[in-house]
């Protein structure tokens, strides 16, 4: 990592603020402080007014956030009134580093910073700072609570950070604090921000002037996850996930909060890939990352969801030694790096899902699963097992076993573990995204790192850029993935679903969506009696391929049963497609309608294009100007075949090869619910 940080700390006593005010609009006061992004387009203003502390955000001179109040509610009192700015500090930086894996290899962290020192005019006279970093792609800010005579240990009930949108922007949202409070496995709705209730982040908003706004957070380490609640009108405010006793955050000053992030772009296509949260996380704590290894994988998983095999013991038990070896053979034969095994460990035979009484062992296998033998076989075949820890949110049970469980896997050469947190609250009643759980997830990541193990979390806390600091947290769920198409839950995922995910959930970080279902015609028997015909993916087969490029994950599953890939020429794309990218370019995109994205594989000259649409057929013509000029390439195209339609004819795929170069304009035709997947490789 090359660090080219240029520091210039300039401490201003408040009266120096006037020097800045001189260049500002007449409405400014001496207490108003401004800071702009390096390109000058984004500007944050901070001011104290009538004892309240406010920030606002403008882009190109147009308001994005109107004056929005800052503060906290503690158990004892609030830190919200009688505030004045005592001094400000300015800073800037420009550094570029290489992520060990990602949507892009190189990330430039270029910002101007304004740190505002604030004092409380009344007892207990607390002090804190708010640090604003303004980037070309958005804004991050966080609070830094200082220790003082009257303030050390605290119990925070709420963070009172407002986001007063300047426009009744259109929001794409999923509800929070509803029956499924924190797992985020919910279909998106859209509507004016004035009609939101409580929602999850990332929250993607489109202003009527075309500006795209994404509110999220970064570096959630020892704090509660933030939701956004509508205060009426178009002002959103943070509201925090809670411990069982209702407290949001327990801490001791000095204390820094996570960063609140406001990503800004001119078009939806410019939102991805999003690196704002990475820039607001500390550099990697793992020095040697060579063991961290993006890969494709298969596993004993889809069979469990469609009911042909079981997690628990019995005649249909999936995780047997023989069956796992079959998957290992399949992985090795097709160049996949890993084999996931769910249901290998004791605890699956009780109805933990409905009773909430899970008691999993993370070290003891079912008798028909010989871990040492399977691990030996995998190693011999050049494949890693991907272990599995379903906690059912019984966190004590998991943490008691965490060290030996990771150690067991390490001893057997298991290089990755999928964890699971099916459940709304922990066994002690802490919320899914509470500070308690945030701490727990960090503990798991760090324990895994010490054991050389990569992590893939399902039903996770949201991604706030932890992968920069701990690059062994490779992927996670945190949205409705393919599994909902196995159950038909809430009607399965509609054709538009992934075109929304790309501009919402995916802006937080990688998602283990598990694409690649080829057996699209069979309606599964596992739907509820009332919805028997919905347990199926609502895409064409070509769209299943395109999802490998569109929905980024350094762990990409070929989720279908190995036998369903047999004799399928389209499977070649899954064999070929990359999982680690040098460059990403969004060529076309409209939230909820379509996405066309091109990504260059790291360490090769191959490009991959994924194009997906909602229920409407669409046509695009894509200039391949991103290719190296003068180089001749071959485009291997997997397109929706004649008459393809997600509803009743999802299987037709036409595979063709064409010579292309940087001057080519490639036509792309998508069927209703369809997609197209393209590999572009240099001509051999």
Active site amino acids: 483
483 vs 301: CA distance, rounded Å: 9
Candidate residues 192, 254, 562, 682; the one interacting with a copy of itself per rule CB under 8 A: 192
Q: Does 49 bind a copy of itself (CB under 8 A)?
A: no
Instruction: List binders of a copy of itself among 597-616 (CB under 8 A).
Output: 615
Considering only the stretches 21-29, 183-191, 340-348, 439-447, report the one whose residues sit in contact with a copy of itself under the rule CB under 8 A. Answer: 183-191
Shortest Å distance, C-beta 285 to a copy of itself: 39
Residue 271 CB, shortest distance to a copy of itself, in Å, is 17
Does 662 participate in binding a copy of itself (rule CB under 8 A)? Answer: no
**14, 131, 187, 651: which one binds a copy of itself (CB under 8 A):** 187
Task: Give the gyration radius of the chain's Cα atoms.
Answer: 25
Through-space distance between the first and last CA atoms of the chain, rounded to whole angstroms: 34
- Interaction between residue 567 and a copy of itself (CB under 8 A): no
Nearer to a copy of itself, 27 or 123 (CB): 27
Residues 6+ apart with CB under 8 A from 452: 291, 410, 415
Quick one: CA dihedral 576, 580, 581, 587, positive or negative?
positive
Contacts of 81 (CB under 8 A, 6+ apart): 51, 52, 71, 122
Helix (H/G/I), strand (E/B), else coil: 677: strand
Q: What is the DSSP string of 517-560?
A: ----SPPPTTS-TT-TT--S--S-HHHHHHHHHHS--SEEE--S
168 contributes a contact to a copy of itself by CB under 8 A? yes
Q: Does 66 engage in binding with a copy of itself (CB under 8 A)?
A: yes
**DSSP symbol at 151:** B
Q: How far is the CB of 168 from a copy of itself (least distance, A)?
A: 3
Please report whether residue 203 would count as binding a copy of itself according to CB under 8 A. no
**At residue 340, what are phi and psi to the nearest 5 degrees?**
-80, 140
Q: Is 170 in the site for a copy of itself (CB under 8 A)?
A: yes
Both structure tokens of 333: 């034969």
What residues contact residue 522 under an 8 Å CB cut-off, 6+ apart?
A: 536
- 490, 576, 661, 669: which one contacts a copy of itself (CB under 8 A)? 490
If DSSP states are collapsed to H, E and C, what string results for 580-593? CEEEEEEEEEECCC
Residues 6+ apart with CB under 8 A from 87: 11, 12, 13, 14, 117
Q: Is residue 24 close enough to count as binding a copy of itself by CB under 8 A?
A: no
Min. distance of Cβ 654 from a copy of itself in angstroms? 25
Which stretch in 123-131, 262-270, 486-494, 545-553 sits in contact with a copy of itself by CB under 8 A? Answer: 486-494
Q: Could you tell me the smallest distance in angstroms from the CB atom of residue 227 to a copy of itself?
A: 16
Q: Which of 267, 316, 575, 647 binds a copy of itself (CB under 8 A)?
A: 647
Query: Rule CB under 8 A: is residue 424 a binding residue for a copy of itself?
Result: no
Closer by beta carbon to a copy of itself, 192 or else 562: 192
Q: Name the DSSP class of 311.
A: S
Site for a copy of itself in 521-540 (CB under 8 A): 530-531, 534, 538
Q: Does 180 bind a copy of itself (CB under 8 A)?
A: no
Give the residue with the Cβ less far from a copy of itself, 195 or 316: 195
- Give every CB contact of residue 618 below 8 A, 6+ residues apart in sequence: 593, 594, 669, 670
Residue 18 phi, psi (nearest 5): -60, -30
Q: Could you list the residues that contact a copy of itself (CB under 8 A)?
A: 66, 164, 166-168, 170, 175, 179, 186-192, 194-195, 197, 208-209, 232-234, 490-492, 494-495, 530-531, 534, 538, 615, 647
């Amino acid at each position: 990592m090359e660090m080219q940080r240029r520091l210039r700390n300039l401490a201003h006593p408040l009266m120096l603020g006037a020097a800045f005010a001189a260049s500002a609009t007449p409405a400014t006061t001496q207490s108003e402080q401004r800071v702009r992004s390096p390109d000058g387009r984004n500007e944050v203003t901070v001011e104290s007014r009538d004892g309240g502390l406010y920030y606002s955000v403008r882009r190109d001179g147009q308001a994005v956030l109107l004056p929005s109040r800052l503060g906290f509610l503690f158990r004892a009192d609030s830190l919200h009134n009688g505030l004045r700015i005592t001094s400000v500090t300015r800073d800037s930086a420009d550094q570029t580093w290489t992520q060990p894996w990602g949507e892009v290899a190189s990330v430039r962290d270029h910002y101007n910073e304004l740190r505002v020192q604030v004092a409380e005019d009344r007892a207990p006279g607390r002090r804190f700072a708010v640090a604003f970093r303004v980037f070309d792609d958005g804004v991050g800010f966080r609070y830094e609570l200082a220790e003082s005579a009257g303030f050390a240990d605290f119990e925070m009930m709420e963070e009172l950070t407002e986001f007063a949108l300047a426009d009744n922007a259109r929001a794409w949202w999923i509800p929070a604090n509803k029956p499924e409070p924190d797992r985020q496995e919910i279909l998106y709705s859209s509507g004016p921000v004035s009609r939101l209730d409580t929602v999850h982040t990332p929250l993607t908003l489109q202003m009527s002037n075309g500006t795209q706004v994404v509110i999220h957070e970064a570096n959630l380490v020892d704090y509660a996850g933030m939701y956004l609640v509508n205060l009426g009108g178009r002002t959103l405010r943070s509201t925090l996930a809670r411990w069982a006793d209702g407290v949001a955050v327990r801490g001791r000053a000095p204390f820094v909060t996570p960063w609140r992030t406001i990503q800004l772009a001119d078009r939806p296509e410019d939102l991805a890939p999003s690196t704002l949260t990475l820039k607001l996380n500390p550099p990697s704590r793992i020095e040697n990352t060579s063991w961290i290894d993006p890969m494709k994988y298969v596993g004993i998983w889809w069979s469990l969801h469609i009911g042909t095999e079981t997690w628990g013991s019995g005649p249909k038990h999936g995780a047997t030694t023989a069956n796992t070896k079959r998957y290992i053979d399949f992985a090795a034969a097709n160049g996949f790096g890993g084999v996931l095994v769910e249901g290998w460990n004791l605890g699956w035979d009780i109805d933990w899902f409905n009773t909430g009484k899970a008691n999993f062992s993370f070290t003891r296998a079912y008798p028909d699963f010989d871990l040492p033998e399977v691990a030996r076989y995998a190693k011999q075949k050049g494949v890693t097992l991907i272990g599995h820890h379903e906690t059912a949110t019984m966190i004590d049970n998991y943490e008691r076993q965490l060290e030996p469980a990771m150690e067991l896997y390490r001893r057997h050469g298991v290089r990755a573990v999928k964890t699971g947190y099916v459940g709304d609250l922990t066994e002690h009643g802490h919320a899914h995204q509470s500070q308690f759980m945030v701490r727990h997830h960090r503990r798991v990541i760090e324990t895994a790192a010490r054991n050389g193990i990569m992590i893939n979390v399902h039903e996770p806390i949201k991604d706030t850029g932890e992968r920069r600091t701990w690059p062994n947290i490779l992927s996670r769920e945190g949205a409705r993935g393919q599994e909902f198409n196995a159950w038909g839950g809430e009607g399965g995922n509609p054709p538009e679903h992934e075109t929304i995910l790309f501009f919402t959930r995916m802006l937080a970080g990688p998602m283990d969506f598990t694409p690649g279902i080829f057996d699209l015609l069979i309606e599964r028997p596992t739907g509820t009696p009332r919805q028997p015909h919905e347990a199926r993916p609502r895409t064409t087969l070509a769209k299943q391929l395109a999802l490998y490029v569109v929905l980024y994950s350094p762990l990409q599953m070929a989720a279908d049963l190995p036998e369903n890939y047999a004799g399928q020429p389209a499977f070649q794309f899954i064999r070929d497609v990359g999982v680690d990218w040098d460059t990403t370019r969004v060529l076309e995109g409209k939230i909820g309608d379509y996405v066309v994205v091109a990504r260059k594989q790291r360490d090769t000259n191959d490009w991959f294009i994924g194009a997906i649409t909602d229920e409407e057929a669409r046509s695009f013509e894509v200039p391949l100007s991103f290719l190296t000029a003068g180089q001749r390439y071959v485009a291997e195209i997997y397109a929706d075949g004649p008459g393809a339609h997600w509803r009743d004819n999802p299987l037709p795929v036409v595979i063709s090869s064409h010579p292309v170069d940087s001057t080519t304009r490639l036509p792309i035709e998508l069927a209703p619910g369809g997609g197209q997947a393209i590999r572009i490789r240099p001509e051999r």
